[in-house]
Chain A
Amino acid sequence: MTFYLQLAVAGIAVGSVYALIAIGIVLIYKCSGVVNFAQGAFVMLGAYFTYALTRLGLAPVAAVLGAMLAMALVGMLTERLVLRPMMKAPVVAIMAVTLGILILTRAVCLAIWGPDQIAFPKLFPDGAVNIFDVFITYNYLAAALLSVCLSLAFLAFYQFTAIGLKQRCAADNTRAALAIGIHTGNQNSLAWSMSAALAGLGGTLLATLNGLSLGLSDIGLVAFPVIVLGGLTSLSGAVVAGLLLGVLQAFTDGILTPWFETFLRAYTRIYSAGALQQVVPYMILVFVLLVRPQGIFGRRGTERL
């Protein structure tokens, strides 16, 4: 039993970071209709910024906040410089340009900080708690709590504040928003900034868990099954789906893979199940797209003919 609980804990910790990142992607999608492939790059960049700021002497908390601010700036610049000129471009092109941003950002980080893993500054104390025989490090606890709290805070912001309302208007219907005087361009920039800042924080938390390296950007691609599962237009869906997928991956690794391997070894010549936990989210994604494309919480929209 402890084994399952432990897996669930690991899954929730990672899943909450997925949620944070997925919220960012959904935010951008709702506001400007763009799927941001570069979200992973923002995650990685945020972590590197935090690292750089601590190296410059800032206290950990200040460094994290500073990194988030820097990321907000990066997000806004991306929107202004790259996305604005491409307003009328077809979906392919915009997806491709965000891919280009991903590649470019990775290359810049490689050039500045090198290819090796770097020891990430300790933001949370070492040690762990033991609840019902389940071993939870303070790091896990902090990352999970922070992510969930921030996600909920963000959802509240989006739902209950004036700016949140403006965001929702711009996201819902650009023309109507323009008609009532909302500057959709600014709202777009705001969406990108917030999204990038959230991604940056997610990156920092992820780096405390898994170390700092270029590989952090890979999480951007796992975020896609999350948002499809949750519904491309639903922020709360992103949170729920993020947690779900995190736990699912953990359970795949811990339970499904060994079972699958025993099965394979008994009936086929294949010995390894391979990286099952990396492919299972995508299989789920395909399944969801075929059965219920709007995901768990999304609205039935124009995804289907």
Chain B
Amino acid sequence: MNKLLRNAMLTAGLLSCIAPATAADINFCMWGTITGPDALVNGMAYGPRDYMEFLNQTKGGIAGNKVKLLLLDGRYKLDEELKNYRRCVDQEQAVVINGWSTGSVKALRDQITQDQVPFMTQSYSSEVLDPVKLPYIFMAGPTYEQQMIIALRDAANAGGKTVIIMHGDNEYGRGPTTVVRQSGVIEKLGLTLVDTVEFPYDAQDITAQMLRVKSKNPDLVYVQSSTPQLIVALRDAAKVGLPATKFVGNAYNISPAIPAQLGAAAEGFRAIQIYSDYGSDIPAMKDINAFKANNKIEKEDVYYMKGWMEGVAISKAIEVAIAKNGGKVPDDIKAFRKSVRDEMENLKDVDAGGITPPLSFASHQGSTQARLAVIKDGKYVPLGDWINAQ
């Protein structure tokens, strides 16, 4: 009997661990690739968490309520991310969820609308950007398609004629490439898409693909992949004698790791920059440095700035939502989520501390400005002005 009783208590104890969180807190649940193929850019998963923690430490949270934070590891695996979503929505009763991959937000888009929970995605896929049909999904910058168009326009203006798009074989790679290809914008700019070259999204060696690219001798090679694969790409380009100056990457290709690991092979590579770099002379750095004094910052790069900015925007929306509820956190999580969503959309000209121009989320994008940056002497240097990507 004792054994039975002990086992029963153990089970009860274990089960009680999975009891849901109480509803009157502010719960902010995030996931990102903490470990996985694109862990290099996970500064943007730490960013929002750190900003909220900064608010907790310096201002006692949002409107005096501490924010409960949970950062999960999605491992860039779709089923892992789906599991995390479930947990955030139900178990953690999160008022805002911060997701990661293009694949997961696309797969979840209907569920997010059905669950009515505000969702900030790290992805920039235009297929989840629809303030009317997908009112709960927000993102933090111009879409991949818009980014590609910036690069294409630049190539066209420089007199180029032929383009090759390289991309990974996952949703993040194929999705935007397909959208741009089918939209006809490449032809409209007077360019010809000579080839699209696909490679495994976690490939280690794409030398043969680079040879294919070299044999077509394009004026522009746009790479729609994450930083680690870009490193592989540029390294293999050097192996076959293809200069980095022909390559342009998207917003995920501004990472100190690229010049650090490639050295001379990365000189001349260009990428899309949406956020100011870590350490640039902007007001937000004051807050970040203050935070750094007492805490550890995992990744000091431009993606951290993105995450920090997301934290700014989300906390502002929550703040306004609480204020509109008479200064108290709403008890009903559904009402709270809806209110935060509305306030998120209503955000206009929010000061992002210089990370980006003032944020407005009417189009659910925050900021739509971007510019090219080029690697010179191992550092990213802005090339030209901020362009409005729309």
User: A residues within 8 Å of B by Cβ?
Assistant: 3, 6-7, 10-11, 14, 110, 114-119, 126, 128, 135, 137, 139-140, 206, 209-211, 213, 215-216, 218, 249-254, 258, 271-275, 277-278
Kindly identify which residue among B37, B200, B202, B211 contacts A254, using a CB–CB cutoff of 8 Å: B211
Question: In the complex where A135-B240, A271-B178 touch, is A250 in contact with B207 (Cβ < 8 A)?
Answer: yes
Residue of A116, A210, A252, A274 most packed against chain B (CB within 10 A): A116
In contact, A119 and B212 (Cβ under 8 angstroms): no
- Asked if B231 and A3 make an inter-chain contact with CB atoms under 8 angstroms apart, the answer reads no
Q: In the complex, A211→B36 CA distance in Å?
A: 16
Residues in chain A near residue B7, CB distance under 8 A: none
Interchain Cβ contacts under 8 Å between A and B, 21 examples: A3-B211, A3-B215, A10-B239, A14-B205, A115-B35, A117-B40, A117-B228, A117-B257, A140-B239, A209-B205, A210-B205, A211-B232, A250-B207, A252-B208, A253-B209, A253-B212, A254-B208, A254-B212, A272-B169, A272-B198, A278-B200
List the A residue with the shortest CB-CB distance to B206.
A253
**Quick one: given A117-B261, A210-B235, A253-B212, are A216 and B241 in contact (CB under 8 Å)?**
no
Question: Nearest Cβ in chain B — how far from A194, in angstroms?
Answer: 25
B-side contacts of A218, CB under 8 Å: 204
What distance in Å separates the Cβ of A261 from its nearest Cβ neighbour in chain B?
8
B contact residues, total (Cβ < 8 Å):
37
Please tell me if the beta carbons of B204 and A213 are within 8 angstroms of each other in the complex: yes
Q: Are B257 and A10 in contact (CB under 8 A)?
A: no
Contacts A211-B261, A254-B209, A271-B178 known; list 10 others, CB within 8 Å: A7-B208, A10-B239, A114-B39, A128-B241, A139-B239, A209-B239, A211-B204, A215-B202, A253-B212, A272-B169
| Inter-subunit contact A117/B208 (CB<8 Å) | no
B146–chain A nearest beta-carbon distance, Å: 22
Binding site for A on B (CB under 8 A): 33-37, 39-40, 169, 174, 178, 195-196, 198-200, 202, 204-209, 211-212, 215, 228, 231-232, 235, 238-241, 257, 260-261, 264
Q: Which of A115, A139, A250 has the most CB of B within 10 A?
A: A115
Whose C-beta in chain B lies nearest to the C-beta of A107?
Answer: B35
For the residues of A in contact with B, the DSSP-based class is: helix
Is the pair B169, A110 in contact by a Cβ cutoff of 8 Å? Answer: no
Q: Is there contact, CB below 8 Å, between B211 and A119? A: no
Check A10/B207 contact, CB under 8 A, given A128-B241, A140-B239.
Answer: yes
For the complex of A and B, the 7 pairs showing the least CB-CB separation, nearest first, are: A253-B208, A115-B35, A115-B39, A119-B261, A135-B241, A10-B207, A254-B208
Cα distance, A210 to B203, chains bound together (Å): 10
Residue of B205, B235, B261 contacting most chain A CB atoms (<10 Å): B205
**How close is A67's CB to chain B, nearest CB, in angstroms?**
19
Determine the chain A residues whose CB is within 8 A of the CB of B261 once the complex forms: 117-119, 211
Contacts of A128 in B (CB 8 A): 241
> Could you tell me the distance between the alpha carbons of A115 and B74 in the complex, rounded to whole angstroms?
13
Closest chain-A Cβ to B177's Cβ sits at a distance in Å of 9
* Given A119-B260, A135-B241: A274 touches B207 (CB 8 Å cut-off): no
Look across to chain B and name the residue whose beta carbon is closest to the beta carbon of A111. B35
Contact between B208 and A250 (Cβ–Cβ < 8 Å)?
A: yes
The chain A residue sitting closest to B235, CB to CB, is A211
Contact of B211 among A10, A118, A216 (CB under 8 A): A10
Residues of B with C-beta under 8 A to A206? 204
User: Do B208 and A277 touch (CB < 8 A)?
Assistant: yes
With A14-B205, A119-B261, A254-B212: A275-B241 Cβ-Cβ less than 8 Å? no
Q: How far is the CA of A116 from the CA of B228 in the complex (A)?
A: 8
Q: Judging by beta carbons under 8 Å apart, are B211 and A275 in contact?
A: no
Which residues from chain A contact B37 at a C-beta distance below 8 Å? 215
CB distance from A298 to the nearest CB of B (A): 28
User: With the chains together, A250 CA to B212 CA distance in Å?
Assistant: 11
In the docked arrangement, what's the CA distance between A117 and B261, Å? 9
